[in-house]
Amino acid sequence: MTRRLLASAALLAAALASGGRAAAQQADRIVIRAEPGTPVVAQELLLAVGAADEPELQPGIAYLTARVATATARPVLDSLGARLEVQARREGLEFTLTAAPDVWEDASRALLTALFRDPTDSASTTRERARIVAELEATENSPAAVAGRAADAALYGAEHPWARPPQGTSESVATLTASDVDVFLRKNFTADRATIAVVGPVDPAEARGFLVGRLNAAPLEIAEAPAPQPGDTAVRQEFGSITAWVSASYSFGADADLDALQLLASVVAERFAFSSSTRQLYDARGEVVRHRGGGEVRFTLVVPPAEVDAWGERLRAAVASVAGAPLPAGVFNDRLRRYRGERLLELDSPEARARALARELWLTRSRATEAVVSLGVLTPERLQRAAQSLKAPVMVYLGPFENAEH
Amino acid sequence: MLALALALAGGIAADTVRARPEHAGEAPPQQVAVHRQPALPVVAIRMSLLADDPPGYAGAGHLFQHLLLPSLQEQVRRVGGRVSIGRSADAVVYTVSGPASELDFLAGVLRSALRAPVVGTAELLSALNQVADERSAEREIAPSFVRASLRARLYPDQLPAGGTYLAAKRLETARLEPVWASMYRPERIAILAVGDVEPEAVRRAFRTLPEADPDTAETLADSLPAFGGRSPEATRGWVGAAWAGDSASPAALSVAARLLRRTLRARFPAAQVDAEHWWTHDGQAVALVMAAPGAQLPALRRASAAALDSVVARVDEEAVRGAADDVRREMLFYGRTPERMAELLGDFADRTGDRGAAQAFYEALGTVTEADVRTALEVLNRAPAARVEVPPQRLRTTP
């Protein structure tokens, strides 16, 4: 009898230990930021289902599946006054849910059930496919979209999954069937690929408990994308627009100084802002795009076609000048002051903070909720070192070059 | 509150104050209020000047805003901030947002808007053109035209925020300092800060405001523009109706408007249906704006004529509770950023003079009953509705 009791106790202990590990693994994929003064709860769910999971002939199926799966939850969410946004990124899908505190659990339950339990129906597929095709037809041939795709192909390699637009193309999405969506959903939309951040007036323990009960215990599963294979020569692509687009993509690795690189993107873009000395510059942008294991700083200029090479050189020179010497203290402080304000205002909605937290958790496994709204101590030297750490840029020129001299 | 807030904005954006008993003559004391939101070290500061446009200078308040906006934008850009302007029926409103650590700087930016702008002819003409464009837009776009026409019928003495053509011509050559002096008094300023700031710090930042200038503009007559003539071209037919409901409970009217929207959206799923609660110092109303392809226009017209009765037939406690919860959740959603929360709280406070008006309204929504809504619908039904229609354009084919 004693031996049976001991055996039972051992089994129970093993079961408890196993359950503890499972709960820990689930909790590792959840981050909660309690904000008592915020009027709504925002929940960001990142599903690690992206271009690398899509069959080669089905670009855009991840996004279509996400739209179809969530279509069933929309009536419930509408009745609760909750909002849901769905976006496709290279590495995964983003589901942003915003709801009043008294109904956020109901809204979250509806979303999780739609993603991981409910089957899809062919009517929803037909409807969402038509909507996405219409959306893509309206945007995919704009110079900005074409320039972005050209830069992606040059940076990652033409055959790399990330060279494809995350939403697919109007042509590829139009061929997808309800059966394709059903198969893709069953294979890829599983709770072990989800990372969740919640921001708002919630009790952290209760919110975590609610979510842990709805995620399965497996560790986070992410399909690794092939290594990028950037080209080593500048790409020039003819395009029938009246302006030309110049992009310079600087890769960085996992150990990059992200705060400093983001400041660098802001400082360099600021140099190309419209002014009396840059009248012929139509637009200038700088952004940091992260992925697991690194990322890129991408600058984009819109310029007259005849000046495209000169602006490309100026862009590279601007980054090189920051790498060459620390900015004077006065200039640096002015830029930093503005940059801090812009960064903070980017996070002024709870859904923006939830998105930032979920991405941070997904990319770095960090669950530090304060880090997302605070900047470290930035100095001119730190900015210089960050610029020096960048690899040579991949340059892409898009425009009507044949007629440029006219 | 999103729909309600937008409805309020739609209802008040084009109106200006002619005779406002609660503000005219005796101005309320300057007030500073702070709504703490410590989630993020940012602050949104909303500054409202509770003032009418001076008689004869309709649109002056909004013109001053356009004259000052480029300078304000340039200033807040230094700290990565944002600035917005708005002219409601109750106030001239400026809002700046930025890091909480820049509170004093942002307050200084707002204080700089409390003096008559010194501008050249080019800047003045540019600002006048922007205001004129806003006036024109109201007549050129079908949904704006419907709303503006309904307002003109409900409140025939009101002038639009953008003023009138004649007033704009007058402002083109007027000395701006006396016009500004007719509007500005320090005690007419209300400050509302939302974010991670302490009340004392905000009060300190606005401790001193510019003095009022006794050299005010000569009182002149305003001419009310006729709001008629050709309606804008539209691909769909538009039907609008509005009912005055001044004496009804605001919360019950909001719920009634929500029920009206739900009822008609369920009946016309392919049409665009908006039902809005308008609430300004001039009074309250419920407005219905619908659009559908031409073939459905007769059905929309009939539905508009019987709109209030259709709600009366369906209203019950459960429907009232659902609609009230809907409005409350929209208030929360709308106020989820400091800037929006400042707008929400400030609009209520400007209208009623009560800092806690938004909170009181939110709580009142929680206690609205079926009887309250029925009473509100009765109030709406007492007066004849204002009605507007924009037919769909007919395409001519050449033989």
Nearest CA in chain A to B326: A81
- Residue A98 touches chain B, beta carbons under 8 Å: yes
Q: Best-predicted range by mean pLDDT among A13-22, A358-367, B202-211, B387-396? A: B202-211
Model confidence at A25, in pLDDT bands (50, 70, 90)?
low
Give the pair of three-digit tokens for residue B221.
């007559």
- CB–CB of B102 and A81 under 8 A? no
CB neighbour burial string for A112-139, b if at least 16 within 10 angstroms, e if fewer:
bebbbebebeeebbeebbeebbeebeee
CA distance B325 to chain A (A): 9
- Residue A336 touches chain B, beta carbons under 8 Å: no
Question: What is the 8-class DSSP label of residue B257?
Answer: H
- Residue A341 touches chain B, beta carbons under 8 Å: yes
Q: Phi/psi at A161 (nearest 5 deg)? A: -55, -35
For residue A294, count CB atoms less than 10 angstroms from its CB and return exposed for 0-12, middle for 13-18, buried for 19 or more: middle
**CB contact at 8 A, B77 and A274:** no
Give the pair of three-digit tokens for residue A380.
């001119």
What interface predicted TM-score (ipTM) does this complex get?
0.86
Select from B42, B325, B326 the Cβ nearest to the Cβ of A345.
B42
- CB–CB of B332 and A40 under 8 A? yes
What's the first-to-final CA gap in chain B, in angstroms?
Answer: 52
For residue A200, count CB atoms less than 10 angstroms from its CB and return exposed for 0-12, middle for 13-18, buried for 19 or more: buried
Q: What is the pTM of this model?
A: 0.88
Residue with tokens 């300078």: B71
d(CA A225, CA A338): 36
Residues B231-278: tens digit of each pLDDT: 788 889 999 999 999 999 999 999 999 999 999 999 999 999 999 999
**CB contact at 8 A, A258 and A343:** no
β partners of residue B95: B46, B84
Q: Which of A81-95, A248-262, B4-18, B147-161 has the lowest mean pLDDT?
A: B4-18
Average pLDDT score over residue span A185-206? 94
Q: Phi/psi at A213 (nearest 5 deg)? A: -65, -15
**Chain-wide mean pLDDT for chain B?**
89
DSSP per position, B68-88: HHHHHHHHHHTTT-EEEEEE-
User: What are the C-alpha distances in Å from B269 to residues A41, B265, B266?
Assistant: 30, 5, 6
Q: What percent of chain A has pLDDT over 70?
A: 90
Nearest CA in chain A to B322: A79
Cα torsion B245, B248, B253, B254 to 10°: value is 110
Average pLDDT score over residue span B4-14? 32
Model confidence at A28, in pLDDT bands (50, 70, 90)?
confident
Give the pair of three-digit tokens for residue A232.
């080593």
Number of Cβ within 10 Å of residue B92's Cβ equals 27
Give the pair of three-digit tokens for residue A184.
């893709």
Model confidence at A213, in pLDDT bands (50, 70, 90)?
confident
Q: What percent of chain B has pLDDT over 90?
A: 74
Residues A98-116: tens digit of each pLDDT: 999 999 999 999 999 999 9
pLDDT value at position A24? 56
**Cα Dmax for chain B:** 76
d(CA B75, CA A236): 40
DSSP per position, A199-248: EES--HHHHHHHHHTTS-SSPP--PPPPPP---SS-EEEE---SSEEEEE
Q: Best-predicted range by mean pLDDT among B87-96, B114-123, B370-379? A: B370-379
Please report the sign of the dihedral spanned by the C-alpha atoms of residue B110, residue B113, residue B119, residue B125.
positive
Is the pLDDT assigned to residue A21 strictly greater than 60? no
Residue B41's nearest CA partner among B263, B161, B260, B201 is: B201
User: What are the DSSP E strand ranges found in B37-124?
Assistant: 42-49, 82-87, 92-99
Average pLDDT score over residue span A229-245? 88
CA distance A16 to chain B (A): 37
Select from A83, A344, A350 the Cβ nearest to the Cβ of B42.
A344
Is the pLDDT assigned to residue B88 strictly greater than 90? no
Residues B43-68: tens digit of each pLDDT: 999 999 998 899 999 999 999 999 99
Long-range contact pairs involving B197-200 (C-beta distance under 8 Å, separation at least 24): B197/B34, B197/B36, B197/B43, B197/B100, B197/B103, B198/B34, B199/B32, B199/B34
Number of Cβ within 10 Å of residue A226's Cβ equals 12
Nearest CA in chain B to A104: B329
Vertex B312, ends B310 and B314: CA angle to 5°? 75
d(CA B338, CA B193): 8
Q: At B154, which amino acid appears?
A: L
Angle of helix B250-267 versus helix B357-365 axis, rounded to 10? 50
Cβ pairs A/B, distance under 8 A: 80
Is the pLDDT assigned to residue A250 strictly greater than 80? yes
**CB contact at 8 A, B11 and B282:** no
**Chain-wide mean pLDDT for chain A?**
89
d(CA B157, CA B151): 10
- Residue B78 touches chain A, beta carbons under 8 Å: yes
d(CA A35, CA A192): 27
Residue B316's nearest CA partner among B252, B374, B257 is: B374
Residue with tokens 């690189």: A261
Is the pLDDT assigned to residue A16 strictly greater than 80? no
Judging contacts by C-beta atoms under 8 Å, the chain B residues touching residue A370 are none
CA B397 from chain center: how many Å? 42
- Residue A353 touches chain B, beta carbons under 8 Å: yes
What's the first-to-final CA gap in chain A, in angstroms?
Answer: 98
**CB contact at 8 A, B149 and B39:** no
CA A18 from chain center: how many Å? 33
Judging contacts by C-beta atoms under 8 Å, the chain B residues touching residue A350 are 39, 336
Is the pLDDT assigned to residue B395 strictly greater than 50? yes
